[in-house]
Structure 1
């Protein structure tokens, strides 16, 4: 593996991990705030917070990987 591929792989991995952390945290906070709301809805009561957090983490993973690929694509075409 050459140096450019290692850098690209490191960029994709780091952005994906950041996306997973931010997506999971945001989803967990959203489900916690939903339960603390003054008028709790049926949707809030029926959704599992763990499942909601996993969905947020997977969305963050895709968003982070996409952002890294987009940044690498743009840098490649600027040179």
Structure 2
């Protein structure tokens, strides 16, 4: 039982870290592309790129953890 909990924790950590990296990269790229457009919107100017990156990272964290729990739940019901 302890071994299964450790595997679940490892899966959640790996998926969460992957989500943070992908979400942060996506948020940073989105803010860079937004500022490089020919017509810059007010949303691009008012939102800080670092804030947008942190928002992407937090979304990626939740998505990664949710995916890990969903995959574990799915595997548990198939056994």
TM-score range, shorter chain: over 0.9
Unaligned runs of 5+ in 2: none
Deviates more, 1:38-47 or 1:67-76: 38-47
Q: RMSD over aligned Cα, in angstroms?
A: 0.9
Match of 1:59, SS state, is helix
- Superposed CA offset, 1:31-63 (max 9, x none): 000000011011101110000100000000000
Question: Using the alignment, how far apart are the partners of 1:41 and 1:3 within structure 2?
Answer: 52
Residues of 2 paired with 1:41 and 1:8: CA distance?
Answer: 43
How high is the TM-score relative to the length of structure 1? 0.97
Give the Cα separation in 2 of the matches to 1:13 and 1:34: 31
Question: Alignment length, in residue pairs?
Answer: 79
Q: Distance in 1 between matches of 2:17 and 2:77?
A: 25
Counterpart of 2:78? 78
Number of the residue aligned with 2:33: 33
